[in-house]
Amino acid sequence: MKNLVLLFVFCVSALTLSRAVEPEGVTITKEEAQSIASYDLEKIRTKGPALAGQLVKLKFNYRSAAIEKTPDGKLSGHLRIWRASTAAVGSTYKYAGLAVTIPPEGMDWFMKIPTRDDSRPTLILIARIGDGIDQPAAILGREIKTDIKGSHVVW
C-alpha cells in the first residue's frame, strides 16, 4: 500500500512538472523561426505590402504616449524610431512609426517602453505585419525560444 501511494504521488508530481515547463507564447513553425528578418520601422515603411502577413523582428526606440484598449482586451498603440543624422555625406534623420496591437501578456512590458524620442537603446519585438495599410502589426513577444516541442515567441 505504501508503494502504491508513493507511485501515485510520483505520477502526480511528474504530471504537474511536465505542465509547468510547457512553453508559453505563440507557436511558430521551424521555417518561420529560421527565416525571420530584422527591420527598423523605416524599412518596414518602405517595404510596405511585400511584408504583409510576415513574421519579423521590429527595431524601434520608443512608443507614442497615446494608447487605447481594444474591445478584445489588447492594447493599441504606435511604435516609433527616431535617429539623428551621422553627419556623413548623404546621411539623413531616420523617423518612422507603426501601428501595433499588444496582447494582454505583453501590456506590462509595453507600458515600460519610453515615450520620448531621445531614448537611445534599440528595442526589438517579434511581430506579424498586418495585411493592409490600415492593419496594425500584431506584437507576439520579445524573443523566440526553441525546445523539443518546437519554436515559440515569448515575452
Instruction: Give the CATH number for residue 98.
Output: 2.40.50
**CA gap 127, 100 in Å, rounded:** 9
Total domains in the chain come to 1
What band does 3 get if pLDDT is binned at 50, 70 and 90? low
* Residues spanned by the domain of 108: 25-154
Residue 60: which of 78, 35, 41 has the closest Cα? 41
In a domain, 61, yes or no: yes
- What pTM value is reported for the model? 0.74
**CA gap 123, 25 in Å, rounded:** 19
122: its cell numbers: 534599440
Comparing 2 with 145, the larger pLDDT belongs to 145
**CA gap 80, 44 in Å, rounded:** 11
In a domain, 12, yes or no: no
Rg, Å, the chain Cα set: 20
Q: How many residues does the chain have?
A: 155
Please write the tens of the pLDDT for every residue from 90-132.
Answer: 666 778 889 999 999 999 999 999 998 676 788 999 999 988 6
Please write the tens of the pLDDT for every residue from 55-82.
Answer: 999 999 999 999 999 999 999 999 998 8
In a domain, 8, yes or no: no
In a domain, 7, yes or no: no
In a domain, 40, yes or no: yes
Residue 55: which of 32, 86, 78 has the closest Cα? 32
Q: Which residues of 97-121 are buried (b: 16+ CB within 10 A; e: fewer)?
A: bbebbbbeebbeebeebeeeeebee
In a domain, 134, yes or no: yes
Q: How many CB atoms lie within 10 A of CB 40?
A: 18
**Cα torsion angle, 109, 115, 121, 124, sign:** positive
In a domain, 150, yes or no: yes
The answer to whether residue 37 scores a pLDDT higher than 80 is yes
In a domain, 122, yes or no: yes
- Asked whether the beta carbons of 97 and 84 are under 8 A apart, the reply is no
